[in-house]
Structure 1
């Protein structure tokens, strides 16, 4: 399949998503969520299409995408590891665990490993303050994170 065919397929799918969600009250967030579910991120090309369909500026759509940390502007890895950096987790040593995770994976925040296996994201509360430090791997929560648990998580995403 050539690049032009992919672009046409992408545009057609985005148009379908917009049409499915247009009647909802406040349709931008549901549209953005569906686009990200479909493509794994919000393609730049989708922002203009969404803006035009909703009679908004592209800046307004960009503002929403950039405001919410879960929206991605580039493809993420097959796994997403989120490490909590809120105060409770900081007090329990999350910063040293974060540095170890970055070193083990060879990446920094918001980056993806060279093999596309994992994206590392900071998050500012997972709601496990009494069990800090905390992490989330692909939606699964980990409480009382320590170096052994971190090593297990990294091994799992690298497998």
Structure 2
């Protein structure tokens, strides 16, 4: 995950202009904006809408539908825990309970004092290694309580 940079409207326009003629350009442009800034700033919504001849509501609908897009900079580290069927079958809900009981962490709440935020996602496409997660965008598979404890303990030490 890229570090968040201050939003720059001209850079956002340059990013949009590079890809606006590509069929289905909205998703690639959103990914490029997220890579450049660490999030998709609300000020980019009208730029995208105008450039791609979409309504602001259409653009915002795509941004809010996909979990990968942030609308604000992430502060600290992010653990995205898969809670889809395969991960459920192999114990992810036990891991969610363990996070709450042992570490006082709840999915989709504010970051804790270490700066760790837990986000629920519904399929990371890593089902062969369920239960699966991403820590700052890096895949982690076959999670158990011990591995999860190590991830939480490492949250204040920077990227794993």
TM-score for both structures, normalised by structure 2: 0.81
Out of 113-122 and 89-98, give the one that drifted further. Answer: 113-122
Which of 60, 73, 85 is residue 58 of structure 2 equivalent to?
Answer: 60
List per-residue Cα deviations over 1:84-140 (Å, max 9, x = no partner). 111222222211211333556655333442557333211222344344322221233
Out of 115-124 and 39-48, give the one that drifted further. Answer: 115-124
* Paired positions, count: 152
| Structure 2: tracts of 5 or more residues without a match | 1-5
Q: Which residue of 1 aligns with 2:77?
A: 79
RMSD between aligned alpha carbons? 2.3
Question: Quick check: 2:76–2:111 contact (8 Å CA) kept in 1?
Answer: no
Structure number with larger C-alpha Rg = 1
Q: CA deviation at 1:66?
A: 1.3
Question: Quick check: 2:33–2:40 contact (8 Å CA) kept in 1?
Answer: yes
Q: CA deviation at 1:149?
A: 0.5
List per-residue Cα deviations over 1:26-60 (Å, max 9, x = no partner). 22111111111112111111101110111111001
TM-score for both structures, normalised by structure 1: 0.81
Q: Which residue of 2 aligns with 1:117?
A: 115
Which of 133, 136, 159 is residue 134 of structure 2 equivalent to?
Answer: 136
